[in-house]
Every structure is written in C-alpha cells, then in structure tokens.
C-alpha cells in the first residue's frame, strides 16, 4: 500500500508525528472495523480503536519495519480487542444470568437499525459462529477484499473464504427456517 510506504519512510526519518498524522486517517476505518467485528459494540469498538492509536503513537518510534505495517497494526488491534472482550465477558459472568443475557443482547446490536426488514437478518448474523460472524462483518463493513479480511483476522485467505461461504449458507438456511426468503 503506497500510504504505508510513506508512513514507514517518515518513521525511519524520525518524523513520527507526521507519520502518525498519516497513519490515523489511513487506518481509522480498519482498526475500528476490526475492533467492532470482535467486540460487537460500536461504542466499545470506538473506545478501543482510540486506545489502539494511542498505543501505536507510543510504539511507532520502535517500529523497525520487519513486519508489514498493516500486519503489525492488526495484531495490536486484535490483541487489544480480545483482551477487552475477555474483560467484558468476565464482568458479565459475575452478574446475574438473566441480566447477562439482556446485556449481551444490547451489546450485540451491531448498528443503528437500518430497516425493520433487516432485523431478522441481524438476529441470525449474531447467532453465527464467532469467526464466521467476524468474517462477514469485516467483508461487508467496508466492501473489503477477502485477502484484506484474511490479513485483518490473521488467517489464511482460503480459511476466510470458507468462513464466508459457511456464514452465507448459515444465514440463508436460518432465514429460510424463519420463513423468510434471503432475497
């Protein structure tokens, strides 16, 4: 990616401030999207994306260019998201079961409701296995190519393709079972 090369050159020239000013707009959507695909909560994902960028600001002078910039950023984002998710689950596991179900239901709501006819689709997306749901989210959130989704998830592209195929099949059959046509 040309933007990455420019950022890396700036870091190597010791101009981290400028590098960071380019990095944030270049990665804002992807860092947020990756966090959202794991946390399933927009506010939490935004907060985590902010934390990730602060971490990147601190770590940028130590970036040595051995790993691809995007791979490095995605790894930091994934680790931070998984840790945050673990903390959230632990907090929920300490609360009453019925309250937990309710909170998870609220936290899982992926978006401002776009249209009532998509409510059922959102419900079946939330019922997908974790990796399938994550692949579908990253793929459709910004119309990303499979290869980029794979890099973001830290998985081989073929594995992501399998997740996407299974997710679509699962969604179609769940919608059919709910008496709805996927079209």
Partner 1 sequence: MSGHRLQDGHLDPRLRRVFAGIDTRPGFEARIAVRISELHAEPANVIRDRVELRRRRTAQRLRREAWMNVASVAGAGAAALAVVWRQGPAVAGWMEGLLAAVVDPGVLGGVAAVVLAAGLWPILRGLLPR
- List residues binding partner 1 (CB under 8 A): 1, 24-25, 28-29, 32, 36, 42, 46, 49-50, 53-54, 57-58, 110-112, 114-115, 118, 121-122, 125, 136-137, 139-141, 143-148, 157, 161, 164-165, 168, 171-172, 181-183
- Is 85 or 139 the residue whose CB approaches partner 1 more closely? 139
- Is 99 or 182 the residue whose CB approaches partner 1 more closely? 182
3 state SS of 178: coil
- Is 67 or 111 the residue whose CB approaches partner 1 more closely? 111
| Nearest-approach distance from CB 12 to partner 1, in angstroms | 21
106, with CB counted inside 10 A (0-12, 13-18, 19+), is exposed
| Nearest-approach distance from CB 13 to partner 1, in angstroms | 20
Going from the C-alpha of 25 to that of each of 13, 41, 61, 75, 159, the distances in angstroms are 20, 21, 19, 18, 29
Q: Within a 10 A sphere around the Cβ of 112, how many other Cβ atoms? A: 6
| Nearest-approach distance from CB 117 to partner 1, in angstroms | 8
- Is 99 or 113 the residue whose CB approaches partner 1 more closely? 113
| Nearest-approach distance from CB 165 to partner 1, in angstroms | 7
45, with CB counted inside 10 A (0-12, 13-18, 19+), is buried
What is the end-to-end Cα distance of the chain in Å, rounded?
36
Q: What are phi and psi of 66, to 5 degrees?
A: -70, -45
């Amino acid at each position: 990616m040309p933007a990455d090369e420019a950022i890396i050159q700036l870091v190597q020239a010791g101009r981290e401030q400028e590098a960071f000013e380019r990095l944030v707009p270049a990665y804002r959507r992807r860092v947020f999207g990756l966090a959202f695909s794991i946390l399933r909560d927009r506010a939490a994902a935004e907060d985590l994306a902010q934390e990730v960028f602060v971490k990147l600001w601190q770590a940028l002078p130590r970036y040595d260019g051995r790993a691809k910039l995007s791979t490095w950023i995605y790894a930091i984002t994934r680790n931070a998201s998984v840790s945050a998710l673990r903390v959230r689950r632990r907090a929920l596991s300490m609360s009453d079961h019925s309250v937990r179900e309710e909170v998870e239901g609220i936290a899982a709501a992926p978006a401002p409701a776009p249209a009532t006819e998509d409510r059922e689709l959102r419900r079946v997306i939330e019922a997908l296995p974790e990796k399938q749901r994550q692949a579908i989210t990253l793929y459709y959130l910004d119309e990303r190519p499979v290869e980029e989704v794979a890099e973001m998830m830290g998985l081989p592209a073929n594995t992501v393709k399998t997740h996407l195929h299974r997710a679509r099949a699962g969604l179609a059959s769940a919608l059919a079972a709910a008496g709805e046509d996927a079209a």
